[in-house]
Structure 1
Amino acid sequence: MNKKLALLSLSLLMAGGAVAQNTATGQMIGHVSDPDGQPVARAAVKVGERVVAVTDKNGNFTLTKLPAGTRSVTISYIGMKSIKTSVSSTMNVTMEWDNANLDEVMVVAYGTAKKSSFTGSAATIKADDINKLQVANPVEGLKGRVAGVQIYSNSGRPDGGTPTIRIRGISSINAGNDPLIIVDGAPYPGDLSSINQQDIETFSVLKDAASAALYGARGANGVIIITTKRTRSHHGARVTFDAKWGVNQVAQQRYETVRDAAGYYEAYHRALRNESLYENLNAQNNYQLGDEKAAYEFANKNMQERLGYLTYTVPDGQNLVLENGKLNPAATLGRVVKGKDASGKPFDYTITPDDWYELAYRPALRQEYNLNVAKGNDNSNIYFSMGYLDNKGILQNTDFKRITSRLKADWNAKDWLNFNTNITYTNSQSHNVEGEGDANSSGSIFGLVNNIAPIYPAYLRDGKGNIMVDNMGFTRYDYGKKGYLPMNRPFLSYSNPLSDNALNYNGENTHTLNANVGADVLLGKGFKFVTNNTLYLISSRGENLSNPYYGQSAESSKGFVSVGSDLRVRHNFQQLLNYTRTFAGIHNVEALVGHEYYRSKSYSLSGTRTNLVDHKNHELGGGLENGTPSSSAGLYNTEGWFARANYSLFDRYFASASFRRDASSRFHPDHRWGNFWSLSGAWIISKESFFNVKWVDELKLKASYGEQGNDGIKDYLYTTTYTFKNSNGKLALVPRLLGNEKISWEKNGNFNVGVEFSLFKGRLSGQVEVFNRSTHDMLSTYSLPRSYGFTSFYDNLGNMSNRGVEVELNAELVRTSKFSWSVGVNFTHYKNQITSIPDQKKLKEYEGHKGYESGNFFYGEGLPMWTRFLYRSAGVDEKTGEMTYYTWAYRYDLTKPKMVKDANGKEVQQLDRWGEPVYEILKKKVTDANGKVEEVPVAKDRLTKTTLASEASYFLGKDPHPDLYGGFNTRLTYAGFDLGIDFSFQLGGHILDKDYANLMNGLSGEFGGSAVHKDALTKTWSPTNRHAKYPRLQAGTALSTNSSADVDTYYVSASFLSLNNINFGYTVPKEFLYRYAKGQVQNLRLYVSADNVHYWSARKGLDPRQSVSTTKQVQYSPVRTISGGLTLTF
Structure 2
Amino acid sequence: MQSFRRLLSAGCLALVAAAPIGAESPSMQEVVTGIVVSARTGQPLAGAQVVVEGTGQGVATNSAGRFLITNISGATVTLRVVLIGYREYTEVYQAGDATIQIELEETAIDLDAIVVTGTAGGSQTRAIGTTIAQLDMTEALQVGQSGTFQEMLNSNVSGLNMASGPGNVGTGGAMKIRGIGSVTLGSGPLVYVDGVRIDNNSNARIGSDQGNGTMRGGSVSRLNDLNPEEIQSVEVIKGPAAATLYGTEASAGVIQITTKRGTVGAPQWEVTVRQGVSYLSNAVGRWPAVYDAGTNPCPNCEILPSGVRKFEVLKSEQALGHGIPFTYGHDQTYGISSRGGTDLLRYYFSAQVDRDEGFVEWNHQNKYSARANLEITPNEQLSISTNMGFLRSKSRFNGGGPFPIEFVSSIYWGTPAAAEDERRRGWNWTPPWAMETVDVTEGIDRMIASGTVRHNPFPWLVHRVTGGADFGSAVSGRMVPRSPLGSADFFGAMSLGHVETTERSVTQANVDYGATATFDLPFLGTTSETSVGAQYYVKKTHEFGAVGDQFPAPGPGTVSSAAVKTGWEDFIENKTFGLYVQEQLSWNNRLFATVAFRGDDNSAFGENFDFILYPKVSGSWVLSEESFFNISLVDNLKLRAAWGRAGRQPDVFAARRLYAPITAGGDQPGLTTDAVGNPDLKPEVGEELEVGFDASLLDDRIGIGFTVYNKDTRDAIIARPVSPSSGFAGTQFVNVGQLNNRGIEIEASATLVRSGSVDWDIGFNYATNNSEVVDLGGLPTIFLFGQRHQEGLPVGAVFVENVVSAEFDANGNIVNDQCEATPEQGGGMVPCSMAQPVYRGPSVPTWYGGVNTSVRLLQNFRVFALVDFSGGYTKISGDLAASHLLFQNSQQILEREDAQLAAMSEIVGNWLQAGVLKGGLAKLRELSLSYTLSDEIASLAGSDGGSLTISARNLFNLWEAQSGTFGRREIDVELTRQWNASREGGVYHQTSMPPATTVAMTVRLNY
TM-score relative to the length of structure 2? 0.82
Q: Distance between the aligned counterparts of 2:747 and 2:712, measured in 1? A: 23
Judge conservation of contact 1:869–1:957 (CA < 8 Å) in 2: yes
- For residues 354 and 828 of structure 2, the distance between their equivalents in structure 1, rounded to whole angstroms, comes to 61
1:71 positional shift: 8.2
Cα separation, partners in 2 of 1:1057 and 1:556, compared to 1, 3 Å: closer
- CA shift, 1:801, in A, is 0.8
Q: Are 1:715 and 2:653 matched, yes or no?
A: yes
Correspondence for 2:455? 521
- The reply to whether residue 245 of structure 1 matches residue 275 of structure 2 is yes
Q: Map 1:717-1116; keep pairs closer than 5 Å.
A: 717-727=655-665, 729-784=667-722, 788-839=727-778, 841-842=779-780, 851-879=781-809, 880=812, 882=814, 886=818, 945-946=830-831, 948=833, 951-974=834-857, 975-1001=859-885, 1004=888, 1010=889, 1012=890, 1022=897, 1029-1031=900-902, 1043-1047=909-913, 1050-1070=915-935, 1072-1073=937-938, 1076=940, 1081-1095=943-957, 1096-1097=959-960, 1098-1099=962-963, 1100-1101=969-970, 1102-1104=972-974, 1106-1107=976-977, 1109-1110=986-987, 1112-1116=989-993
Residue 237 of structure 2 is aligned to residue 206 of structure 1: yes
Give me the identity figure in percent.
Answer: 19
1:220-248 CA distance string (max 9 Å, x none): 0011111111123x321110111111111
* From 295, 299, 310, the counterpart of 2:297: 310
Post-superposition offset of 1:371 = 1.0
1:442 aligns with 2:404: yes
Give the CA deviation at 1:565.
Answer: 2.6
8 Å CA contact retained: 1:251, 1:1092? no
For 1:240, the aligned partner's letter is: E
- 1:591 is matched with which residue? 530
Alignment partner for residue 605 of structure 1, among 508, 524, 544?
Answer: 544
Q: Structure 1 residues 501, 268: CA separation in 2 closer, same or farther (over 3 Å shift)?
A: closer
Give the CA deviation at 1:779.
0.7
Distance between the aligned counterparts of 1:1084 and 1:446, measured in 2? Answer: 42
SS at match of 2:931: strand
CA distance in 2, matches of 1:183, 1:379: 24
Q: CA deviation at 1:953?
A: 1.9
Contact 2:240-2:252 within 8 A present in 1 as well: no
CA drift at 1:640: 0.8
Q: 1:101 offset after TM fit, Å?
A: 1.9
Which of 666, 670, 678 is matched with 2:608 structurally?
670
Q: Give the CA deviation at 1:545.
A: 1.7
Deviates more, 1:729-738 or 1:199-208: 729-738
How much does 1:311 deviate? 2.5
CA RMSD, aligned part only? 4.2
**Paired AA for residue 955 in structure 2:** V
SS of equivalent to 2:566 = coil
Paired residue for 1:1121? 998
Describe how 1:415-434 pairs up with structure 2 within 5 A.
415-434=380-399
Structure 2 counterpart of 1:671, one-letter code: F
- Amino acid paired to 1:972: V
- From the superposition, tell whether residues 890 and 792 of structure 1 become closer, same or farther in structure 2 (CA, over 3 Å): closer
Q: Classify the secondary structure of the residue corresponding to 2:224.
A: helix
SS in 1 for 2:992: coil
Asked if 1:541 corresponds to 2:475, the answer is: yes
Kindly tell me: are residues 364 and 690 of structure 1, through their superposed partners in 2, closer, same or farther at Cα, counting changes over 3 Å? same
Distance 1:411-1:51 versus aligned 2 partners, 3 A rule: closer
Q: Which residue of 2 aligns with 1:116?
A: 126
Counterparts of 2:60 and 2:153 in 1: how far apart (Å)?
A: 35
SS in 2 for 1:690: coil
Indicate if the aligned counterparts of 2:740 and 2:774 stay in contact, CA closer than 8 A: yes
Residues 1:692 and 1:253: Cα distance change in structure 2 (over 3 Å): farther
1:211-268 CA-partner distances (Å, limit 9, x unpaired): 2110110110011111111123x32111011111111112598886654xxxx6xx53
Quick one: distance in 2 between partners of 1:422 and 1:51?
Answer: 17
- Distance apart, 1:515 and its partner CA: 1.4
Distance apart, 1:589 and its partner CA: 2.6
CA distance in 2, matches of 1:641, 1:74: 38
C-alpha distance in structure 1 between counterparts of 2:30 and 2:514, whole Å: 48
1:753, CA displacement in angstroms?
Answer: 0.5
Measure how far apart 1:993 and its partner are: 3.4
8 Å CA contact 1:410–1:420 kept in 2: the answer is yes
1:1072 & 1:627 partners in 2: Cα distance?
Answer: 63
Q: Which amino acid aligns with 1:865?
A: V
For 1:47 and 1:515, how far apart are their aligned partners in 2? 26
* Alignment-derived partner of residue 218 in structure 1: 249
CA separation of 1:102 and 1:327: change in aligned 2, threshold 3 A: closer
Match of 1:300 in 2: none
Q: TM-score when scaled to structure 1?
A: 0.73
Residues 494 and 550 of structure 2 are in contact (CA less than 8 Å); yes or no, is this contact kept in structure 1? no
CA–CA distance in structure 2, aligned partners of residues 141 and 313 of structure 1 = 44
Residues 543-589 of structure 1: per-residue CA shift (max 9 Å, x gap): 33211115366756731233333322222111222223344693333
Q: Secondary structure at the match of 1:175?
A: coil
The partner residue of 2:634 within 676, 690, 696 is 696
Cα displacement (A) at 1:383: 0.4
The one-letter amino acid paired with 2:298 is: T
What SS does the corresponding residue of 1:519 show, helix, strand or coil? strand
Deviation digits for residues 930-956 of structure 1 (CA, Å, limit 9, x no counterpart): xxxxxxxxx9869765455xx532222
**Which whole-Å CA distance do the structure 1 matches of 2:504 and 2:822 have between them?**
58
Classify 1:711/1:828 alpha carbon distance in 2 versus 1 (closer, same or farther; 3 Å): same
Q: Is contact 1:109-1:211 (8 Å) kept?
A: no
CA distance in 2, matches of 1:1063, 1:402: 25
Structure with the greater alpha carbon radius of gyration: 1
Match of 1:936 in 2: none
Are 1:143 and 2:173 counterparts? Answer: no
Distance 1:996 1:782 in 2: 34
| Matched residue type, 2:240 | A
In structure 1, distance between residues paired with 2:544 and 2:491: 23
Using the alignment, how far apart are the partners of 1:647 and 1:825 within structure 2?
Answer: 33
Superposed displacement of residue 684, structure 1? 0.9
- Quote the Cα distance in structure 2 between the aligned partners of 1:322 and 1:516: 67
Contact 1:883 1:1043 in 2 (8 A): no
Match of 1:467 in 2: none
Conserved 8 A contact 1:355-1:454: no
Q: Describe the shift of the 1:649–1:1120 C-alpha distance in structure 2 as closer, same or farther (beyond 3 A).
A: same
Secondary structure of 2:911's match?
coil
Q: Amino acid of the residue matched to residue 1120 of structure 1?
A: T
The residue aligned with 2:4 is none
3-state SS of paired residue (1:397): coil
1:268 to 287, 292, 302: 292
| Superposition pairs of residues 492-571 of structure 1, within 5 angstroms | 495-496=429-430, 498-549=432-483, 550=485, 551=489, 558-571=496-509
Contact 2:875 2:987 survives alignment (8 Å): yes
